[in-house]
Amino acid sequence: MIEWLFDGLLAIGLLWLGWRTVVSAELFKAIVMFIVLGLFMALCWARLAAPDVALAEAAIGAGLIGALLLDAYRALVAERWQADDRNAKPLVAASLAILSSVLIGGLAWALLFSPEPVVDLNAQARARLADSGVGNPVTAVLLNFRGYDTLLEVGVLFLAWLGLWTVGEQESNSAATGAWVEDSDLLTALVRLLAPLGVLIGVYLLWAGANEPGGAFQAGTVLAAVGVLLRLSGRLRPELSPDLWVRFGVTVGLLVFSAIAVGVIPVGGNLLEYPGDWAGLLIVVIETSLMVSIALILTLLFIGSAGLRRGGS
Amino acid sequence: MFPDWLAWVLLSDLFPWLLITLGAVFFLAGTAGLVRFPDLFSRLHALTKADNLGLGLICLGLAWHNKSPSVALKLLLIWLLVLLASAVSCHLIARYALHSDSKVWKQRHD
């Protein structure tokens, strides 16, 4: 009974937050609603017994995307952007609404009326879990059974960084940090405590990912949160052209993943077919390098430039 | 020296729920303050104080309910971390408001 009540409140809250995000007249309110929506979403995934997705949603959906949106909002305000074009043209709004409804309707239809799958992928994956080298079925699917998808995802992140390199700014006009932040002793104390703690939690999530919820993406995002904190407190500054260390960090995930993917061909016979005894070790190596690249790219996305350097105190 | 009724209350299964409910009341009061108080500084005051105490009571209640030292320690760490983060973010917001001449509410004398 009480669980139904809780789930019902969550579902209603989710719908209401989504609605408020779309119709809110003020952009700032819409952003805050969107962040809260991400937190509710994470709770929903937790209730659906999908802790891996819940962690990713809380870290990426609510945390990092929220920070990116707020950053973009501040840049808009600094450029004296006016809110009067917040209301889209009726024609545009109507066509967007129709397209989204068709998409949602199609998805709902597919979910409700699709025939029973001929192959039970879930059972197949669980049956071969012992061969994957890890104990967490989500990690087994992401890094072993469907490693190709993850490899391409990391490629997409790399492309995003290349995009930053073409459009990034040296030091944004919006002056991301003001003097009133940089000389705050309390903030310095908090950063000194939170930064090492964030690194600890990130590495723990990476290590736990082999057998429990966690993994390279969650770990990388927690580390990126540390990067955001360092940027906001003025300890990291944008740099137009990335130095050697940044280039290495950004590419190491893709390089190690691709090298292992190709390197196992002579042994296993196929791309990404890890030899059985080595699978666990290879996955840890890949995940560690992925974590570094994901953390660095996400931090740079927030900073808004391809490179970074130490700055301030 | 240690009255029976107090021991009974502390040991009863309902005691953790009492703490959690009390914590929720603080959250409710803090939210009411956030929505209803007249200026940024008093809103911050309502929000951070209430959250700190509210979360502390809820953590205490949950730890009591769980009766496991490791869970209690984790909850304590979470509470301390939130205390620290909320104190600093409150300070930063108030500082920013001071620097940007946010309006301060004053009692009207008329």
Sign of CA dihedral A131, A133, A134, A138: negative
pLDDT for A173 equals 46
**Higher confidence at residue A68 or residue B3?**
A68
Chain B residues within an 8 Å CB radius of A190: 84-85, 88
**DSSP character string of A80-136:** T--GGG-S--HHHHHHHHHHHHHHHHHHHHHHHHPPPPSS-HHHHHHHTGGGGS-S-
- Is the complex ipTM more than 0.90? no
Chain B residues within an 8 Å CB radius of A187: 88, 91-92
Please name the residues between 156 and 195 in chain A that touch chain B, using a CB distance below 8 Å. 178, 180-181, 184, 186-187, 189-190, 193-194
pLDDT in tens, A98-114: 999 999 999 999 888 87
The Cα A9–Cα A44 span in angstroms is 11
| Both tokens assigned to A312 | 């301030």
Instruction: Measure in Å the smallest separation between the Cα of B87 and chain A Cα atoms.
Output: 9
Stretches in chain A below the pLDDT threshold 50: 173-174, 313
DSSP-derived letter for residue A277 is G
Q: For residue A250, which of A198, A203, A205, A290 has the smallest C-alpha distance?
A: A290
Chain A residues within an 8 Å CB radius of B88: 186-187, 189-190
pLDDT in tens, A30-84: 999 999 999 999 999 999 998 889 988 998 888 899 999 988 888 888 776 665 5
Q: What is the pTM of this model?
A: 0.83
Phi, psi of A307 (to 5 degrees): -125, 170
Residue percentage of chain A with pLDDT more than 70? 92
pLDDT in tens, B54-109: 999 999 999 988 888 999 999 999 999 999 888 888 888 888 888 877 677 777 66
Distances, alpha carbon A128 to alpha carbons A49, A122, A141, A232, in Å? 21, 10, 10, 45
